[in-house]
């Protein structure tokens, strides 16, 4: 049974709480309870899975994880969350906890598999033909392609830490949360983001 | 025109590079990571600085482009495929089965953690909770602390508790087991205390040497060997000393201890511990001036009826007079005047009376060669011997010849003559297999055999006790002729009167108890005048005459003794299967027995008044 989620993501206020995600509301909680998992921990994990899965997917794709591996990383992250809750672990800011686990798993995956630092050719082909506007003109298409090309080039010149900081910031995490997920200081996060944006945005330096 | 900064230079340097906001400041401003004051300062600057405003717009555009790019990259894969969800649910189920349900304790712990977690409860609440806990601990302590009681209150309650335990039984015998430790020496002592008749017997699990050491310590510190852990004795002992400080503390959950320190004497501190539930004394600890200690701990305490203990437990050895015990303890030599000897004899008799050793126990007091008072006899065991010795040795001009049964038995091979005057002995010459004269009445009144035996034993015991009392009185009458009483000083004369009075009172109680006991069976027997029998003859011979028949208390006591002995024999004849009598004698014996008991009671009442006269001689 699929639980239909209605997601309205707010970039500026995406601060995690223990269970619910600010800016995200969902329907079908009763439907979830009616499923086979009768213990509270299982229900909570499934609820979080349904809530966070799309954004975690996007984060992992943008972190260079191949689409074939993303689902495995996501599921493994939530199964570890279930173990964490069952063993009496703290449940504050579980969203950040899940991202941290997913980040670590993706790092391990990078060591054993080829990493997609850049968008693969087929993806780039897709990007070349896609436009945010449904009725793009030739000039807009050209500008869009140029813009994506510039971002792509800029990203390729960033360090791994800078890319991670950018990706997590795009997911709405505050500097403090990013520092916890990546296990670095807040000032390091701020510096990484400053340098990353300096490279991506012309004329900032 | 450039605006003047509102913030101190040191803080402003973090936001500005030269005259413009840094890239990091602009980014942090967009990300909402600046403080309110920094945000105000940065916004104030941007309003006036075109350069910084354009750079901010560039960064915003860069973020927008980056976001659009990332969305474009990920959009082909979003939303995630639905089929993976069912796989995830199955994996969660499998993991749940693998881990099992958490224990209730774990669930409770997790719930507690969540309830008290920093996300759920504020710092103020934590501090308030800790303060509450800190205050609740002493509050709980005071709420559960026992009510304060004074030393006298504890002692009074302890005494009441002991009295209450004795009142539950008609003829209580206290069976008490104690562990007594003196230094490194420890022994277990079992005591049988007949409260009504002031008799005490005891035995220990220690060898004679060990027991002697313990008893010597008792004697040294003026402690009553016969009344360990006895609240009445403790209060008496305590009253004779100067108490320095009293303190009542709760030593265990259900124990209160009265810690008393003394200003003088060998004993520095004496602690009496009672149960809080019934204030029964369970322990005594004595700390001496030399820092050594004596501990008396009660192992068991039981109050049982006299009838339920072995009938001969308080009886004496049959070996008294059968041996010539070697003299022990304190030889004395020079000839003494009659007054000194008489005083010493009274002192010895009082001491024996206090030890319960004058009720037929095989102890004899006599004057020896006008030089000393000789106290000789045989006692049950070494403990009793040491008790007697430790008490009697302090009496001047007294020589002790005390043996235990074992010691006497080893020397008894060549000796055969028992003391004919001893009531305990006379009560044992019996057991010829004829039924008791009142056998039929007994069977009718007590169909149950056990009840019948208990009744007979109790009646015989009462008769024997009365006989022992009368025997003790008779001994006193024999030992204190008029001329000796006259030479006693006032103190000793009063002691002698008290001694006589004690025995007479006790004998009256025994006689009345015997009357009541026999009333159950005699009322159902025949009331026909009986013919002369041997026992009847004895009864008549010993029947107490009119109270005013003699002015000398000694004569009266002699008659009381004879009468009591006759009553004793009559009771034995009627209830015991040991006396070969004609069954026709039963009615006569019974009638005379009742008459004798009544007259004896009257005589005792009269003699009681007589011995209290100040002019006793």
pLDDT digits (tens, 9 = 90+) for B226-276: 778 888 778 777 777 778 888 888 877 788 888 888 887 778 888 889 888
Interface predicted TM-score of the whole assembly (ipTM), two decimals: 0.76
pLDDT confidence of residue A150: 85
**For position A77, what pLDDT does the model report?**
93
Task: Give per-residue pLDDT as tens, B462-480.
Answer: 888 888 888 888 888 887 8
E-strand ranges in chain A read: 5-7, 24-26
Top mean pLDDT of A107-111, B140-144, B222-226, B409-413 is at A107-111
Is B24 within 8 Å of A202 when comparing Cβ atoms?
no
**CB contact, 8 Å: A113 with chain B?**
no
Beta bridge partners of B217: none
Residue B267 tokens read as: 């004993």
Question: Would you call A166 and B66 a contact, using CB atoms and an 8 Å cutoff?
Answer: yes
Tell whether B100 lies on the interface with A, counting CB pairs under 8 A.
Answer: no
For residue B328, count other CB atoms closer than 10 A to its CB. Answer: 14
Q: Which contiguous run of DSSP H or E holds residue B363? A: strand B363-368
pLDDT tens for each residue of A105-156: 988 887 766 544 445 555 656 655 555 555 567 777 788 888 888 888 888 8
Average pLDDT over residues B166-188: 83
**What are B229's two structure tokens?**
């852990």
Q: Cβ contact (<8 Å) for B92 and A74? A: no
Residue B28: which of A41, A148, A190 has the nearest Cβ? A190
* Cβ pair B23:A193 closer than 8 A: no
Domain-embedded: residue A187: no
Q: Are A85 and A98 in contact (CB under 8 A)?
A: no
Question: Tens of pLDDT along B411-466?
Answer: 655 444 444 444 444 333 344 446 677 777 788 878 887 788 888 888 888 888 88
Residue A64 lies in a domain: yes
Instruction: Provide the residue count of chain A.
Output: 205
Inter-chain CB proximity B58 and A204 less than 8 Å: yes
Model confidence band, residue B505 (pLDDT cutoffs 50, 70, 90): confident
Domain-embedded: residue A24: yes
B332 pLDDT tier (thresholds 50, 70, 90) = very low
Please tell me which residue of chain B has the smallest CA distance to A65: B74
> What mean pLDDT do residues B146-171 have?
80
Q: For residues B243 and B260, is the Cβ–Cβ distance under 8 A?
A: yes
Q: Which of A175-184, B97-106, B535-544, B550-559 has the lowest mean pLDDT?
A: B535-544
Could you tell me how many CB contacts below 8 A there are between chain A and chain B?
A: 146
Q: Which domain covers residue A101, as residue numbers?
A: 1-115
> Per the domain annotation, does A170 fall within a domain?
no
Mean pLDDT across B361-388 = 77
CA dist., res. B298 & res. B304, Å (int): 17
Instruction: Tell me the average pLDDT across B133-159.
Output: 78
pLDDT value at position A96? 92
CATH classification of the domain holding A15? 1.10.1740.10
Q: Inter-chain contact B66–A151, Cβ cutoff 8 Å? A: yes
Q: Would you say residue B139 has pLDDT above 90?
A: no
Q: Which residue of B has its CA nearest to A73?
A: B88
Tell me whether the omega of the peptide bond preceding residue B309 falls within 30 degrees of 0, making it cis.
no
Task: List B243's β-bridge partners, or say none.
Answer: B262
Q: What local confidence, expressed as pLDDT, does residue B336 receive?
A: 64
d(CA A62, CA A163): 9
Q: Give the count of alpha carbons within 13 A of B191, CB side only.
A: 27
Between residues A47 and B168, the one the model is more confident about: A47
Residues of chain B found within 8 Å of residue A45, distances taken between Cβ atoms: 92
Nearest-by-CA chain B residue for A187: B24
- Whole-number Å distance between alpha carbons of B256 and B250: 5
Residue A146 lies in a domain: no
Strand partners, B400: B328, B375
Residues B313-330: tens digit of each pLDDT: 776 433 333 333 444 334
Q: Mark residue B502 as left, alpha or beta (left: phi above 0; alpha: psi -120 to 50; beta: remaining).
A: alpha
CB B282 within 8 A of CB B234: no
CA of A107, closest CA in chain B: separation in Å? 19
What pLDDT shows up at residue A178? 94
Query: What are residue B256's DSSP bridge partners?
Result: B250, B274
Compute the mean pLDDT over every residue in chain B, rounded to the nearest whole number: 75
Taking residues B556-575, what's their average pLDDT? 84
* B263 SS3 class: coil
Instruction: Map out the domains of chain B with their CATH numbers.
Output: 9-76 (no CATH), 86-143 (no CATH), 151-308 (2.50.20.10), 319-419 (3.30.1340.30), 432-617 (no CATH)
Task: Pick the closest to residue B464 from B316, B600, B322 (CA basis).
Answer: B316
Q: Is residue A5 part of a domain?
A: yes
Number of domains, chain A:
1
B577 pLDDT tier (thresholds 50, 70, 90): low
Q: End-to-end distance of chain B based on CA atoms, in angstroms?
A: 138
* Sheet-wide strand order for B363-368: B363-368, B372-379, B398-404
* Residue A15 falls inside a structural domain: yes
SS3 content of chain B, % helix, strand, coil (to 5): 55, 15, 30
Say yes or no to pLDDT of B528 above 50.
no
The partner residue sitting opposite B80, judged by closest CB among A57, A62, A79, is A57
Predicted pLDDT of residue A177 = 93
Q: Which residues contact B43 (CB under 8 A, 6 or more apart)?
A: B29
Asked whether residue A78 is domain-assigned, the answer is: yes
Q: Which of B59, B69, B113 is opposite residue A204, by nearest beta carbon?
A: B59
- Give the residue on A whose Cα is nearest the Cα of B28: A190
Provide the CB-side half-sphere exposure for B418 (13 A, CA): 15
The pLDDT value given to residue B582:
55
Q: Edge-to-edge strands of the sheet including B185-194?
A: B199-204, B185-194, B172-182, B293-305, B281-288, B267-275, B255-262, B243-252
Interface of B with A in 29-88 (CB under 8 A): 31-33, 55, 58-59, 61-63, 65-82, 84-85, 87-88
CA triple B63-B67-B70, angle to 5 deg: 140
In this model, does residue B518 exceed pLDDT 50?
A: yes
Asked if B348 contacts B398 with a C-beta cutoff of 8 angstroms, the reply is yes
Q: Which residues in chain A show pLDDT less than 70?
A: 1-38, 112-136, 202-205
A149 touches chain B (CB under 8 A): no
Contact (CB<8Å) A174/B33: yes
Q: What is the DSSP letter of B328?
A: B
Q: Check CB contact of A193 with chain B, cutoff 8 Å.
A: yes
Instruction: Let me know if B496 is exposed, middle or buried by CB neighbors in 10 A (0-12, 13-18, 19+).
Output: buried
Q: What DSSP letter does each residue of A156-200 carry, written as one string?
A: HTS-HHHHHHHHHHHTT--HHHHHHHHTS-HHHHHHHHHHHHHHH
Chain A residue numbers with beta carbons less than 8 Å from the beta carbon of B116 are none
């Amino acid at each position: 049974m699929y639980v239909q989620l209605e997601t309205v993501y707010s970039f500026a206020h995406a601060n995690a709480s223990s269970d619910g995600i600010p800016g995200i509301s969902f329907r079908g909680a009763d439907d979830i309870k009616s499923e086979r998992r009768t213990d509270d921990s299982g229900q909570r994990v499934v609820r979080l899975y349904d809530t966070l899965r799309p954004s975690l997917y996007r984060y992992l794709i943008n972190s260079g994880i191949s689409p074939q591996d993303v689902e495995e990383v996501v599921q493994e992250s939530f199964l570890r969350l279930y173990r964490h809750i069952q063993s009496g672990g703290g449940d504050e800011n579980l969203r950040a906890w899940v991202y941290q686990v997913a980040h670590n798993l993706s790092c391990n995956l990078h060591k054993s598999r080829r990493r997609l630092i850049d968008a693969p050719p087929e993806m780039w082909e897709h990007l070349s033909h896609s436009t945010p506007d449904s009725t793009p003109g030739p000039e807009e298409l050209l500008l869009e392609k140029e813009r994506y090309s510039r971002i792509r080039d800029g990203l390729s010149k960033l360090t791994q830490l800078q890319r991670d900081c950018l990706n997590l910031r795009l997911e709405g995490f505050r500097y403090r949360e990013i520092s916890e997920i990546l296990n670095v200081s807040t000032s390091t996060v701020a510096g990484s983001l400053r340098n990353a944006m300096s490279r991506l945005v012309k004329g900032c330096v | 025109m450039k605006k003047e900064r509102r913030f101190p230079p040191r803080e402003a340097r973090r936001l500005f590079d030269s005259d413009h906001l840094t890239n990091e400041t602009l980014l942090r401003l967009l990300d909402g990571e600046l403080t309110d004051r920094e945000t105000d300062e940065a916004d104030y600057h941007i309003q006036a600085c075109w350069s910084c405003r354009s750079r901010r717009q560039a960064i915003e555009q860069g973020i927008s482009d980056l976001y659009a790019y990332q969305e474009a990259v990920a959009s082909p894969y979003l939303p995630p495929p639905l089929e993976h969800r069912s796989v995830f649910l199955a994996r969660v189920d499998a993991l749940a089965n693998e881990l099992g349900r958490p224990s209730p304790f774990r669930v409770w712990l997790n719930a507690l953690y969540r309830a008290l977690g920093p996300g759920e409860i504020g710092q103020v609440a934590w501090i308030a909770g800790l303060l509450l806990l800190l205050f609740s601990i002493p509050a709980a302590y005071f709420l559960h602390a026992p009510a304060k009681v004074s030393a006298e209150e504890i002692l009074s309650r302890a005494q009441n508790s002991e009295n209450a335990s004795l009142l539950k039984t008609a003829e209580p015998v206290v069976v008490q087991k104690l562990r007594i430790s003196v230094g490194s020496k420890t022994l277990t002592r079992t005591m049988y205390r007949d409260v009504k008749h002031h008799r005490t017997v005891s035995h220990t699990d220690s060898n004679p040497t060990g027991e002697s050491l313990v008893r010597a310590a008792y004697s040294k510190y003026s402690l009553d060997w016969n009344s360990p852990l006895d609240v009445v004795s403790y209060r008496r002992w305590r009253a004779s000393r100067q108490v320095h400080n009293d303190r009542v503390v709760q030593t265990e959950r259900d124990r209160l201890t009265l810690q008393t320190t003394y200003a003088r004497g060998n004993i520095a501190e004496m602690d009496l511990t009672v149960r809080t539930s019934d204030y029964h004394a369970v322990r005594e600890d004595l700390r001496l001036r030399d820092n050594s200690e004596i501990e008396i701990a009660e192992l068991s305490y039981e109050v049982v009826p006299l009838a339920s203990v072995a009938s001969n437990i308080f009886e004496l050895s049959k070996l008294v007079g059968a041996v010539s015990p070697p003299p022990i303890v304190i030889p004395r030599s020079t000839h003494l005047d009659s007054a000194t000897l008489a005083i010493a004899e009274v002192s010895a008799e009082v001491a024996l009376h206090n030890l319960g050793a004058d009720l037929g126990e095989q102890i004899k007091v006599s004057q020896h060669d006008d030089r000393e008072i000789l106290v000789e006899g045989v006692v049950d065991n070494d403990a009793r011997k040491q008790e007697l010795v430790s008490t009697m040795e302090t009496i001047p001009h007294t020589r002790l010849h005390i043996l235990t049964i074992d010691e006497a038995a080893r020397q008894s091979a060549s000796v055969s003559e028992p003391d004919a005057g001893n009531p305990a002995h006379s009560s044992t010459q019996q057991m010829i297999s004829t039924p008791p004269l009142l056998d039929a009445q007994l069977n009718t009144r007590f169909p149950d055999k056990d009840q019948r035996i208990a009744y007979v034993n109790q009646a015989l015991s009462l008769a024997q006790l009365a006989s022992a009392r009368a025997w003790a009185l008779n001994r006193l009458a024999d030992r204190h002729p008029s001329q000796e009483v006259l030479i006693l000083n006032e103190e000793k004369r009063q002691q002698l009167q008290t001694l006589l009075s004690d025995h007479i009172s006790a004998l009256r109680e025994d006689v009345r108890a015997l009357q009541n006991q026999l009333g159950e069976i005699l009322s159902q027997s025949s009331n026909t005048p009986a013919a002369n029998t041997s026992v009847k003859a004895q009864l008549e011979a010993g029947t107490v005459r009119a109270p005013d028949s003699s002015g000398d208390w000694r004569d009266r006591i002699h008659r009381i003794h004879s009468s009591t002995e006759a009553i004793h024999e009559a009771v034995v004849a009627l209830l015991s299967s040991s006396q070969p009598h004609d069954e026709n004698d039963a009615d006569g014996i019974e009638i005379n027995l009742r008459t004798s008991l009544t007259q004896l009671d009257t005589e005792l009442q009269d003699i009681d008044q007589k011995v209290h006269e100040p002019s006793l001689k």
